[in-house]
Amino acid sequence: MTGSTRFSGWLLDSVILIDLLNGVDRAERFLQEREGSLSISAITRAEVLAGLDAERTETVRGFLDRFPLHPIDAEVADEAARLKRIHRWRLPDALQAACALLHKHRLATRNTKDFDPRKLPWVEVPYRI
């Protein structure tokens, strides 16, 4: 993506939603300020739900249902494979990046180890803890 690319919204990385569920005020503020422009990938949904106990799963599933969901289809899988080869990312990170790029979304994450916003203009770290 070039500097002239227009981004149409935000793809939330799992860590942002996990922060919200753990009561991080900055995560809540970020989501409130961008309401209506947020979406999640199937990767984010699975990662968030995988970290929950049975008691919280139904409640959080209902919360996640409020976000538009981007599935993993052939186009996303193919782009993820390409990105994995280039960046040597783990497959979930490559799938997340492919989903963001193909949908022209910024990726909101705190994972700067894998997604360095200085090198990847479509990555944004909305807050620090």
CATH number at residue 76: 3.40.50.1010
Assess if residue 46 is contained within a domain. Answer: yes
31 with 60: CB under 8 angstroms?
A: no
Nearest-CA neighbor of 73 among 115, 41, 121? 41
Q: How do the pLDDT tens digits run along the chain, 129 residues long?
A: 444 568 899 999 999 999 999 999 999 999 999 999 999 999 999 999 999 999 999 999 999 999 999 999 999 999 999 999 999 999 999 999 999 999 999 999 999 999 999 999 999 999 999
Q: Which two tokens stand for residue 1?
A: 């993506």
| Tally of domains in the chain | 1
| Rounded Cα–Cα distance for residues 126 and 80 (Å) | 24
Max CA pair span of the chain: 45
Domain membership of residue 102 (yes or no) is yes
Between the two ends of the chain, the Cα-to-Cα distance in Å is 28
Neighbouring CB atoms inside 10 A of 6's CB total 6
Name the DSSP class of 39: E
Asked whether residue 93 is domain-assigned, the answer is yes
Map tokens 């949908």 to a residue.
103
The reply to whether 16 falls in a domain is: yes
Residue type, 26: R
Q: Residue 91's domain spans which residues? A: 9-124
Which residue in the block uniquely carries the two structure tokens 């106990």?
53
Tell me, yes or no, whether 110 lies in a domain. yes
Give pLDDT, residue 1. 46
